[in-house]
Amino acid sequence: MTDCLFCAIAAGDIPADVIHRDDDVLAFRDISPQAPVHVLVIPRAHHANAADLAAADPALAGRLLAVAGAIADQEGVAESGYRLVTNTGSGAGQSVDHVHFHLLGGRGLSWPPG
């Protein structure tokens, strides 16, 4: 078994509330939601962060964004507005070293985020 939490979720070894799954991309609800809609969108393949993913497989990076957009539609936040965030490095709050986009919506989101 992998020691990467999100690889384990992608493999089905650790349960998650999965709302989208295809050959390359998985989306599931965050275990500690910060907004009424808080979904994590990840590639099934392991890449540490968004820059590494984009360097290794730019098409897959684009697919993640497309899936995020489709989920925003599905979750009913495309019109009200939503935020896609990817933390990179522990100083920015990255706690899982498998690239993930947070899709946040369903409430007002302040900017700058603080």
Task: List residues near ligand 5GP by CB under 6 A.
Answer: 5, 16, 28-32, 40, 87, 93-96
- 100 part of the active site: yes
Site string for Zn ion, 34-73 (x = CB under 5 A): ------------x---------------------------
User: CA 22, CA 99: separation in Å to the nearest integer?
Assistant: 17
**In Å, what is the CA distance from 43 to each residue of 30, 53, 61, 67?**
15, 9, 8, 10
Catalytic residue among 47, 98, 100, 102: 100
Q: Count Cβ atoms below 10 Å from residue 67 Cβ, excluding itself.
A: 22
Report the catalytic residues: 100
* Binding-site ranges for Zn ion (CB under 5 A): 4, 6-7, 46, 98
